[in-house]
Amino acid sequence: MIGIATAVDVAALKETTLLNMGVFALFVAVTMVIVFRASRNNKTAADYYAAGRSFTGSQNGTAIAGDYLSAASFLGITGAIAINGYDGFMYSIGFLVAWLVALLLVAELLRNTGKFTMADVLSFRLRQRPVRIAAAISTLAVCFFYLLAQMAGAGSLISLLLGISDWGGQALVIIVVGALMIMYVLIGGMKGTTWVQIIKAVLLIAGAAVMTLWVLAIYGFNLSSLLGAAVETPNNPAVLNPGLQYGKTETSKLDFMSLGLALVLGTAALPHVLMRFYTVPTAKEARKSVVWAIWLIGLFYLFTLVLGYGAAALVGPETIRTAPGGVNAAAPLLAFHLGGPLLLGFISAVAFATILAVVAGLTITAAASFAHDIYASVISKGKADADTEVKVARRTVVVIGVLAILGGILANGQNVAFLVALAFAVAASANLPTIVYSLFWRKFTTQGAVWSMYGGLGAAIVLIIFSPVVSGGATSMIKDANFALFPLSNPGIVSIPLAFFLGWLGTTVDKKREDSAKQAEMEVRSLTGVGAEKAVNH
Amino acid sequence: MGNDAHTPDAAASVDFEQVQSTGQFQELRKRHRSFVFPMAVAFLLWYFAYVLLADYAVGFMSTKVWGNINIGLILGLLQFVSTFAITGWYVHYSNKRLDPIAAEIRNEIEGHEFDKHGNRIGEVNK
């Protein structure tokens, strides 16, 4: 029963389309009911943006896992391990270790000092206007690139899972995904979004666990024989060693360092991850959330190691490469090989639910940042009441949803990894230095924050524009032109140190001093939780 | 408008500079930083050492130890183990060394308000 003799008949996948749609429809129906029920108590801004701060640490930790384990994690990493072996595994490690930055340096302090958005923390003791605007712009930039990646990913998933290969059909599905997401976020706010993420995380982790045990059982729960089979099927011993993908040239090795840096420093600076810490009542619960998230995410990435090598052994890299959807097809093909149409239907539905949940989380973050940071604090100069602010946030949700749908249709077929790497690199460059400096460096000033944020954001985006992902290569977005002056695909190794340097330089040459009383207040609040917003009781 | 993130709350009129200068708060700050900074440096160094090995020491990482399990896989799995271990260690440390002192300071501030000279004024009804 082992080997390529039982290779998956790709054509048979299309026969399961109806089943896939059925399972997905069921997920949508169940979550919609929950979102409606959860939304009945949405009254204040704290309800809408932060779910009334009423989630427990374990609930929020599960939701964080649901938010973080995007389709790129599940389909992308399984596929990367199936094709590139060990190099795919190194993605999981970067994505997991990154959580220690969030746990040790960011989560609790952020929960204690902020209210709704990342900008609340960054502008706490600096001048409000410039810092808030900069933080909001980088939040919107990161969310938008992450959104585009998810929506574009939805398009390519569909070609595989629903058997829709024409452009119009895929566009229609992107519109449906976008419209559903707008409904969830509009009606349910943060509470509804959180529940969608919790349900999705449970389904995803359970599905991956079943498949993992199944694969291990085939090989008598012996990891070594699974690895042996993964070498045998494509007859390529290199899949167990590092370097298959990134070891080709000196440039590609450097590129991997750059990616590693962006992954490990980007997570704790992703605005949609940071915003989740506001949905719990205390810093202690924020800590518990991260602990839960680390366990769930770590466990999940261990599953993907087995699933990736399992797909290499049981399905084979050649079948995966030539399947519609390419690398992303590894996990669904493995599901089909193991459990036939039923398991494939379940896994496909989970993959859709994944995109929906992640997109919803990104949208509410972007909307909160626009309404709270730009509209309420800058445009109306604090004169808007909370009701108006939430109204603006809801309208922003619709605008962002429509933009994401249009962007997703245009970006359909584009290099998805490019957009995700951009989001991580932009987050690490634009946000992390300012987050760390403002929490831990007493002398940090407004000028340092503004230089670091705009410098990091600008450098990351400019370097990506002049990198091989945009032009000059076989897999570039623009194949016919070559203006790739920067040799690396990921800008992190340059833009992240640059942003840290600019934050230091901007502060050192700044003649103005910040208010030391505010610094004292922020430090005392961040470490003790004095005056932090409590849960809303209904 | 100033920062709108914290109004209204029990701590609105606290002299935070005074609290910051107390020995108790300095101790909390020291305990927090003396754990998280070395730990952050340690796990980042360990992570980048691993990435460098995978990048530039392919031969070493490919050495088979047991069956098809090589050093690269073992070191990769050890990254998971160290992440879980640091998580557990930090939780234990916070519960024992940080939370009690933070709660003490918090209760003190929220129970009594400090005036600008650091003297306690009035009890806040809770």
- pLDDT for A3 equals 36
Contact (CB<8Å) A128/B76:
no
Residue A13, pLDDT score: 58
Tell if the CB–CB gap between A97 and B83 is shorter than 8 Å.
Answer: yes
pLDDT at A237: 80
| d(CA B120, nearest CA chain A) in Å | 16
* pLDDT under 50: residue ranges of chain A: 1-8
Q: Quote the minimal CA–CA distance from A149 to chain B in Å.
A: 26
Measured in angstroms, the CA of B116 and the nearest CA of chain A are apart by: 11
Distances (CA, A) of B28 to A161, A287, A427, A466, B105: 54, 17, 30, 47, 9
Decide if A264 touches B, using CB distance below 8 A.
yes
pLDDT score recorded for residue A102: 93
Q: What is the ipTM of this complex?
A: 0.89
If we measure between CA atoms, which residue out of B79, B76, B50, B52 comes closest to residue B65? B76
Q: Which candidate from B11, B33, B47 shows the least CB-CB separation from A530? A: B11
pLDDT at B7: 42
Question: Does B16 sit within 8 Å of A528, measured CB to CB?
Answer: no
Consecutive H or E run containing B121:
strand B120-123
The sign of the dihedral angle between the CA atoms of A484, A76, A156, A370 is negative
- A232 in contact with B, Cβ within 8 Å: no
- B55 and A246 in contact by Cβ < 8 A? yes
Query: Is the CB of residue A497 less than 8 Å away from at least one CB of chain B?
Result: no
Question: Is A304:A78 a contact under the CB 8 Å cutoff?
Answer: yes
Q: Return the CATH number of the domain spanning residue range A7-38+54-416.
A: 1.20.1730.10
> Is 0.80 surpassed by the pTM of this model?
yes
Chain A residues 283-322 within an 8 A CB cutoff of chain B: 284, 287, 290-291, 294-295, 298, 301-302
Mean pLDDT of chain A: 85
**Cross-chain residue pair A228–B50, CB shorter than 8 Å:** no
- pLDDT per residue of chain B (126 residues) written in tens, 0 to 9: 334 444 445 566 788 998 999 999 999 999 999 999 999 999 999 999 999 999 899 889 999 998 889 999 999 999 999 999 999 999 999 999 999 999 999 888 887 654 444 444 444 433
Output the pLDDT for position A245.
79
| Residue B120 main-chain phi, psi, to 5 deg | -75, 135
Give rounded-to-5 percent helix, strand, coil for chain B. Answer: 65, 10, 25
Radius of gyration of chain B (CA): 23
State whether residue A379 sits within 8 Å of chain B by CB.
Answer: no
Nearest to A286 by CA among A303, A267, A273, A271: A273
Give the DSSP H or E segment for B69.
strand B69-70
Chain A residues touching B68 at Cβ < 8 A: 223-225, 227-228, 231, 240
pLDDT at A14: 59
Residue B122 confidence (pLDDT)? 44
- Tell me the chain B residues in contact with residue A246 when contact means C-beta distances shorter than 8 Å: 55
Nearest CA in chain A to B90: A104
Given CB atoms, is A93 within the 8 Å cutoff of chain B? Answer: yes
Q: Which helix (H) or strand (E) holds A454?
A: helix A446-465
pLDDT of residue B121: 47
CB A172 within 8 A of CB A33: no
> How do residues A254-302 score in pLDDT, each as one tens digit?
988 998 999 899 999 999 999 999 889 889 999 999 999 999 999 999 9
d(CA A482, CA A284): 51
Q: What is the predicted pLDDT for the residue at B100? A: 93
